[in-house]
Chain A
Amino acid sequence: MGAIDPALLLAAIIVAATPILLAALGELVVERAGVLNLGVEGMMITGAICGFAVAVNSGSPALGFVAAAGGGAVLALLFAVLTQVALANQVASGLALTLFGLGLSSLLGQGYQGIKPPPVPRLDLGPLSDLPFLGRVLFSHDLMAYLALALVAVVWAVLKYTRAGLILRAVGENHDAAHALGYKVVRVRVLAILFGGACAGLGGAYISLIRVPQWTEGMTSGAGWIALALVVFASWKAGRVLLGAWLFGGVTVLQLNLQAAGLAIPVEYLSMSPYLITILVLVIMARDKSRAPASLGRVFHASQ
């Protein structure tokens, strides 16, 4: 156990937390608009392969991330059409999105197994990166990790201080009242869903381009579902999503390190731990129901 460097461990936690942080932030916005999109896993894995394929073919990870956001958003658009135009059940549509995304990604991913993507450079922050301990932990990551952190602040500020955020929350809390006030409920929700899809796509690409980095089928292995749990954990607040993401990142990294350290426990039991912790967190947080947007998951049609 003594072989684990705490600086590397903390740095690894930030890397492990970024994909679920991105996906959960997107889903947070979607749910604040009153829509429950259970398709996060499907959008993440689609983003993972879109980003990977484009990055490999173009040689540019940046283009890869753009493609990942696009891929996630396109898939989210399907969900938006189903739930906002065809007024389908959101739970069933979200499940359909995940099943569809898993199939789509493994079809798109054929021929990409075992390839290494172009490396994503670490940002050189000059003297900051050379700081003895903090430099390694905080100031030697790639651009996406910082963008994810910035996004936390942006989502928080937009929801709390801007008119757009207020409208979004109004739509999520009471869509009939928002409609009566003249806000375009469906339009707001579709935009929120697209944003959620793009974020999930970015999160997926972070896994396939930076965290792992390679393509394997089903490689998100439940990260999208953990992101959904994270939104509940965070009581629909952006700041707490960050805390939650670090917690889950910490659990993931810790169990991987314990696996590497060759503990007497079989690897499989350690691999269960992130999922078990998620369940535990859900149980603890279930008492605080007050924060859920009041219109979450309800179908809106102007006739009612």
Chain B
Amino acid sequence: MLRLEKRPQPSRLWTYATPPLAVVITMIAGAALFAALGKDPVEAIATIFWKPLFGEFSFYYRPQLLIKAAPLILIAIGLSLGFRAGIWNIGAEGQYIIGALAGAGVALALYPLESRIVFPLMVIAGALGGWAWAMIPALLKVRFGTNEILVSLMLVYVAEQLLAAMALGLMKNPEGRGFPGSRNLREYDSAHNADIIAGTGMHWGVAAAVIAVIAAYILLSRHSLGFHIRLAGQAPRAARFAGVRPGRLVIFCLGVAGALAGLAGMFEVAGPAGQISIDFNVGYGFTAIIVAFLGRLHPVGIGLAGLLMALTYIGGEMAQSTLGLPAAAIQLFQGMLLFFLLAVDLLTNYRIRLHKREAV
């Protein structure tokens, strides 16, 4: 019979091998799902994973890849720091919304001033907005010991309502003929988060994501704070003896995650989305949780996982228009990925032994 045996140390091989394995299993299960929906499974998988990169219209889709991956990577990098330390911020979606509201708020307040100072101010406001929203669960946890999972998640719903209130009220475009939604920031040159190199999709959010990956890598591998984060997650008692103060770690991890999510929201509203509208948020904050795990909470892994996840978004849209695959199927596909990843993770920490039942 099969028996599990705990490994003395997590297997290095499987640490690297499980994410690709999970992707492959998800592709197989996804193909079965698409077949059950009456679509050609091979065609559907090819449309999602191959055509956006190498197909006929890849010149259009490749820039989209960066545009979609940037917010995912930015948010996931922040989340991964907390996840490593056992601090579960799952309200990144809310922090993303508040960052966008703060960034757009600054731009709309300064409109129609054309100046170089506008965009940097928006960046600061976006980061501060997300940071402040994440400080609510952080401070409540440190001060009262509340559960940060539930508080940060509740604040997503609050942020969504706030977004709706802003899109219909305070931030509504006065020249919008009564339609909900703010002015389009893409038509406001000083506030527009344009491509750094035109036509590549390489906007400032992409640059920020690259910087975040590098900074997180240095933090985790070279800085004592990064060591404390890892220690707190792996051995909380040892961490306390080593002088790690859990409260400060909570504030730091949630703060960074909030600021990065806020930045992601701000870059999104100033560029690809263009305006504050009721349906501005599309779930990046939740998908980023999958990205963080798929990347094994490692900055470089998260970068790769973010690109892969962005691919499923773009390929999913493509499959929607060409094959009529429902959007929900893609959402389900992404959910399955996390499932399989967690399941095959067993191989990292345990050995599966075939062994005969023997008398005790």
Contacts and interface: CB of A to CB of B under 8 A. Distances in A.
Interface of A: 38, 78, 81-82, 86-89, 91-93, 95-96, 99-104, 106-107, 109-110, 217, 221-222, 225-226, 228-229, 232, 266, 268-269, 271-272, 275-276, 278-279, 282-283, 286-287, 289, 301, 303-304
B331 A88 contact: no
Chain B interface residue count: which class? 35 or more
7 closest Cβ pairs, A-B complex: A100-B335, A103-B331, A103-B332, A268-B165, A106-B328, A107-B328, A88-B342
A283 B140 contact: yes
A198 to B, nearest CB: 20
8 contacts: A88-B343, A103-B329, A106-B327, A222-B154, A225-B154, A226-B154, A229-B154, A279-B146
Interface majority SS on A: helix, strand, loop or mixed? helix
A214 B353 CA distance: 50
B320 interface: no
A38 B149 contact: yes
Contacts of B339: 78, 82, 96, 100
A91 B149 contact: yes
B335 A269 contact: no
A283 B146 CA distance: 6
A99 B334 CA distance: 8
Contact of B158 (A232, A276, A283): A276
A279 B155 contact: yes
Interface in B324-360: 326-336, 338-339, 342-343, 345-346, 349-350
Given A106-B328, A266-B169, A272 B335 contact: no
A258 to B, nearest CB: 14
A282 B161 contact: no
Interface in B213-248: none
Given A82-B342, A286-B145, 10 more contacts: A86-B343, A86-B345, A87-B4, A88-B343, A95-B289, A96-B339, A102-B331, A226-B154, A268-B161, A272-B157
Contact of A93 (B157, B334, B342): B342
B56 interface: no
Contacts of B162: 268, 272
Given A82-B343, A103-B331, A221 B157 contact: yes
B164 A268 contact: yes
A278 B154 contact: yes
Contacts of B155: 275, 279
B21 interface: no
Contacts, number: 137
B289 A99 contact: yes
Contacts of B332: 100, 103-104, 107
B200 interface: no
A89 B145 CA distance: 22
Contacts of A87: 4, 346, 349-350
Nearest to B341: A96
Contacts of B136: 279
Contacts of A96: 290, 335, 338-339, 342
B172 to A, nearest CB: 12
Nearest to B347: A86
Contacts of A104: 328, 332, 335
Interface in B283-310: 286, 289-290, 293
A148 to B, nearest CB: 22
A207 to B, nearest CB: 16
Contact of A279 (B149, B151, B286, B329): B151
Contact of A103 (B5, B161, B328): B328
